[in-house]
Amino acid sequence: MEKDFLLIYSDDFKLHSPEPYEHPESPERLEKALDGLAKYKLLERARKVEPPKGDVRIFLKVHSEDYFNFVISKGRSSVEWLDGDTYISPGTHRALERLAGVPEIVERELSVWNLILVIPRPPGHHAGKNGRGLGAPTLGFCIFNISSLIAKILEDRGFRVVMVDFDAHHGNGSQDIFYNDNSVIHIDIHQDSSTIYPGTGFPWQTGEGNAKGTKININIPPFSGDDIFKDAVDNAFKFLKDYNPEVMIVDAGFDGYLDDNYMVSLNLSSNSFNYLGKTLNRISVPKIIVVEGGYNTGLKKALPSFLAGLLGKDDPVNDGATSSTPGTWDRYRERLKELTNNLKS
Ligand SMILES: [Zn+2]
């Protein structure tokens, strides 16, 4: 049977483990994601490939030597905390070796597949050049930034790269890495920066130097429903089309989904994620999807809805639309106006 997409995954990603502590970013997340894809008959559409073990020094392309050495020295014999949010365990180092092998597969397969899904751990989009991205309080469960590494490698090969991040939290690490680099466009939809970790990603943060205007932050207020999210997606699409990418790298977070977790206050149904997938599908360049956040139902339901949309299919979950109050719309429109004004100036 012909397959629809390439799935890059390794069971070694489960070796990054908080035990004996409890933590929302746990190995079970991977089971939830794979179960969700299986339940909605998407796993059978995948050609699966396990990345080889790679040299973790490849992450020096996007992280400083100091931060790299700090990570490598920690968690060697037992679980250690890099900060109040973020653990590292002996198994993390084996998981990171597999993660380091992902770019090799992406480079080899990019001309073959229009859609590549990476389901990795530990996550990466909060990890900036020197660790905490754009001055965030912690690493936010992230260690090395795999999506930015892939972006950097493809940028160096001459591709016009656009990164899209729709995790409920700002992708501060990725923006940090490319903040002075105008050849990687970064478009980020997230819960209003003043209301959630990492407290970055305001509409006026658009990049620095000649990269000013290449980092687009679309804030959506707490309690936003599908109506606001879809409007944000339509706005993101306008920027996307303008930049005319040759390859798209998507930091896909599913923690804005209804009751996924206690850390986010968005109210998005599966409809939002299917709509987003269908919208991105309108731009027919190769897409590399890297799963970031999402802890429970988001992985089981929003991930399959999004993937179905990317394959041009209707929402297989279809759990009913949510809507926003007029006050929430007002706050959303204020943030959009700030964004437009900052991109003009
Ligand atoms: Zn998140």
pLDDT (0 to 100) of residue 115 = 98
Strands 46-49 and 127-128: unpaired
pLDDT (0 to 100) of residue 171 = 98
- Cα separation, 82 vs 115, in Å, equals 34
Residue pair 298/259 in contact by the 8 Å Cβ criterion = no
Q: Give pLDDT < 70 ranges for the chain.
A: none
Rounded to the nearest angstrom, the distance between the alpha carbon of 242 and the centre of ligand 1 is: 27
Rounded to the nearest angstrom, the distance between the alpha carbon of 126 and the centre of ligand 1 is: 9
- Among all chains, which residue has been given the structure tokens 């109506």? 227
- The type of residue at 51 is P
The pLDDT tens digits for 9-41 are 999 999 999 999 999 999 999 999 999 999 999
Q: What is the mean pLDDT of the chain?
A: 97
Q: What is the phi/psi pair of residue 222, to 5°?
A: -55, 150
Residue pair 231/203 in contact by the 8 Å Cβ criterion = no
Provide CATH code, domain 5-344. Answer: 3.40.800.20
Rounded to the nearest angstrom, the distance between the alpha carbon of 118 and the centre of ligand 1 is: 16
- Cα separation, 345 vs 342, in Å, equals 5
- The type of residue at 177 is I
Beta-ladder partners of 188: 165, 217
Rounded to the nearest angstrom, the distance between the alpha carbon of 170 and the centre of ligand 1 is: 7
Q: Which of 16, 63, 125, 126 is catalytic?
A: 126
- Cα separation, 329 vs 345, in Å, equals 25
Is 63 tagged catalytic? Answer: no
Q: What is the phi/psi pair of residue 297, to 5°?
A: -65, -25
Rounded to the nearest angstrom, the distance between the alpha carbon of 111 and the centre of ligand 1 is: 30
- Cα separation, 194 vs 324, in Å, equals 19
- For residue 177, the surrounding DSSP H or E stretch is helix 172-177
SS3 letters for 244-293?
Answer: CCCEEEEEECCCCECCCCCCCCCCECHHHHHHHHHHHHCCCCCEEEEECC
**Counting Cβ atoms within 10 Å, is residue 243 exposed (0-12), middle (13-18) or buried (19+)?**
middle
Delimit the domains of the chain by residue range.
5-344
Strands 215-220 and 247-252: unpaired
SS3 182: coil
Q: What is the phi/psi pair of residue 161, to 5°?
A: -105, 130
Residue pair 241/156 in contact by the 8 Å Cβ criterion = no
* Verdict on whether the full-model pTM lies above 0.95: yes
pLDDT (0 to 100) of residue 320 = 86
Tell me how crowded residue 132 is: count the other CB atoms within 10 A of its CB.
24
Rounded to the nearest angstrom, the distance between the alpha carbon of 75 and the centre of ligand 1 is: 23
